[in-house]
């Protein structure tokens, strides 16, 4: 009971509890090559006891050509579903996924955008305030990899340089033979290194690497948030308000505030 109101918060599902720091897919294109939480982050998490950190949320924006598998990737992770039939995303959609990281509750607000050119104007209004940008390409369609650089440029026009963690994700690995997959991955790793992005190779159909990839997204975004807050306020001053300030998303229904911005199109 707080301020006369009951506070209900369902516990985070057990398969969203991240204790150990998640590992990269390849050390040749990864944003962090350590295998443990940053010591300052670990300490900040431990010290949370005297004050309630509350729910913390970061914004993840998923971009890439049409038909590369953005929606399927999100649906595989968030709903454990795969749909063989293509239903183009119209404008944008979002999912909220709750985690517990190093004992602290934390959410990702995952924005799925349309790859079709005619919806770009709508989708691009949602790029702002992204803490993570996921650029998706189809491992079986090399042109979609070539287009990823342009997607990054467009996503970054709405964000401060250096303010986002960038992931390059190749989907549909189930469609490729091992040798072919390795060849495409080599090109993708070069592209990711160029973009300073972390590379992952996944299949939404089989689910291969999907969970591992999103756990990594959550962990890196979470660590980044805590470190930024510590840098601003100093370790001894970190408190609930610091963490509320660094939210890139919002705890209210994000569709409500984002819809106001749609008037530009």
Ligand X SMILES: Nc1nc2c(ncn2[C@@H]2O[C@H](COP(=O)(O)OP(=O)(O)OP(=O)(O)O)[C@@H](O)[C@H]2O)c(=O)[nH]1
144 interacts with ligand X by CB under 6 A? no
**Residue 107 binds which one of ligand X, Mg ion, none, with CB within 5 to 8 A depending on kind?**
none
175 interacts with ligand X by CB under 6 A? yes
Task: Find the binding residues for ligand X in span 122-141 (CB under 6 A).
Answer: none
Q: How far is the CB of 209 from ligand X (least distance, A)?
A: 10
Tokens read off for 250: 């919002």
Q: Which is nearer to Mg ion, 97 or 247 (CB)?
A: 97
CA dihedral (151, 154, 158, 159) positive or negative: positive
Q: How far is the CB of 237 from ligand X (least distance, A)?
A: 43
Task: Find the binding residues for ligand X in span 18-47 (CB under 6 A).
Answer: none
Among 125, 144, 159, 204, binds ligand X (CB under 6 A): 204
183 burial level (CB within 10 Å; 0-12, 13-18, 19+): middle
214 burial level (CB within 10 Å; 0-12, 13-18, 19+): buried
**Residue 216 binds which one of Mg ion, ligand X, none, with CB within 5 to 8 A depending on kind?**
none
Among 91, 105, 115, 170, binds ligand X (CB under 6 A): 115
Q: Where are the beta strands (DSSP E) in 84-164?
A: 92-101, 104-113, 132-138
Among 29, 114, 192, 213, binds ligand X (CB under 6 A): 114
**Residue 254 binds which one of ligand X, Mg ion, none, with CB within 5 to 8 A depending on kind?**
none
66 interacts with ligand X by CB under 6 A? yes
For 220-255, the three-class secondary structure string (H helix, E strand, C coil) is HHHHHHHHHHHHHHCHHHCCHHHHHHCCCCCCCCHH
How far, rounded to the nearest angstrom, does the alpha carbon of residue 81 sit from its chain's CA centroid? 18
Separation CA 16–CA 48 (nearest Å)? 20
Instruction: Give the number of other CB atoms < 10 A from CB of residue 179.
Output: 7
Q: Which is nearer to Mg ion, 132 or 220 (CB)?
A: 132
Question: Which parts of this chain interact with ligand X (CB under 6 A)?
Answer: 66-72, 83-86, 88-89, 114-116, 171-172, 174-175, 203-205
């Amino acid at each position: 009971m707080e301020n006369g109101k009951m506070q209900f918060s369902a516990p985070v599902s057990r398969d969203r509890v991240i204790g150990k720091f998640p590992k990269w897919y390849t050390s040749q294109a990864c944003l962090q090559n350590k295998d443990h939480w940053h010591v300052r982050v670990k300490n900040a998490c431990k010290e949370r006891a005297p004050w309630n950190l509350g729910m913390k949320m970061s914004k993840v924006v998923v971009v890439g050509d049409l038909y590369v598998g953005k929606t399927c990737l999100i649906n595989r992770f968030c709903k454990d579903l795969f749909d063989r039939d293509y239903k183009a995303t119209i404008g944008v959609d979002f999912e909220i996924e709750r985690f517990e990281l190093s004992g602290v509750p934390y959410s990702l607000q995952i924005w799925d955008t349309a790859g079709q050119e005619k919806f770009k104007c709508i989708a691009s209004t949602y790029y702002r305030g992204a803490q993570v940008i996921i650029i998706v390409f189809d491992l079986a369609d090399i042109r979609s990899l070539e287009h990823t650089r342009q997607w990054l440029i467009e996503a970054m026009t709405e964000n401060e340089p250096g303010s986002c963690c960038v992931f390059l994700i190749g989907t549909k690995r189930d469609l490729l033979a091992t040798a072919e997959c390795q060849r495409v991955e080599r090109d993708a790793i070069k592209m990711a290194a160029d973009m300073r992005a972390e590379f992952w190779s996944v299949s939404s159909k089989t689910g291969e690497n999907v969970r591992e990839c999103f756990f990594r997204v959550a962990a890196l975004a979470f660590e980044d948030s805590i470190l930024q807050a510590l840098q601003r306020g100093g370790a001894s001053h970190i408190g609930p308000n610091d963490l509320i300030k660094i939210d890139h998303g919002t705890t209210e229904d994000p569709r409500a505030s984002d819809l106001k911005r749609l008037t530009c199109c």
